[in-house]
């Protein structure tokens, strides 16, 4: 089962993330072709929508989200679904 994590939380754990870049406000990725870290191009997690939340182990922490319109987005607040075993450690 996947866990919900914000993009910012993911960057703290992901071995592919790098802030050593002038691209994308310092959100870089060593793994993908664009060399930028975004929720939509993450090699280890996928961006969640409202319907995905019910399939995550920690969905109770996000019960304040009642619709797609309530989903956080932008500036690292995007919600990601990840199997934590997939994260490449630093």
Residue 73: φ, ψ to 5°: -155, 160
Question: Would you state the structure tokens that stand for residue 55, as one six-digit string?
Answer: 């399939």
Nearest to 51, CA basis, from 72, 64, 67: 67
Helix, strand, coil tally for the chain in percent (to 5): 30, 20, 50
- The per-residue pLDDT for 90 is 42
Check: pTM over 0.85? Answer yes or no. no
Domain ranges of the chain: 3-86
Each residue's pLDDT tens digit, 1-48: 789 999 999 999 899 999 999 999 999 999 999 999 999 999 999 999
């Amino acid at each position: 089962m996947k866990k919900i994590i914000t993009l910012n939380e993911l960057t703290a754990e992901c071995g592919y993330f790098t802030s050593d870049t002038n691209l994308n406000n310092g959100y870089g990725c060593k793994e993908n072709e664009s060399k930028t870290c975004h929720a939509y191009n993450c090699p280890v997690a996928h961006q969640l929508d409202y319907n995905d939340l019910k399939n995550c182990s920690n969905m109770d922490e996000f019960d304040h989200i009642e619709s797609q319109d309530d989903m956080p987005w932008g500036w690292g607040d995007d919600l990601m679904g990840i199997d934590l075993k997939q994260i490449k450690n630093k």
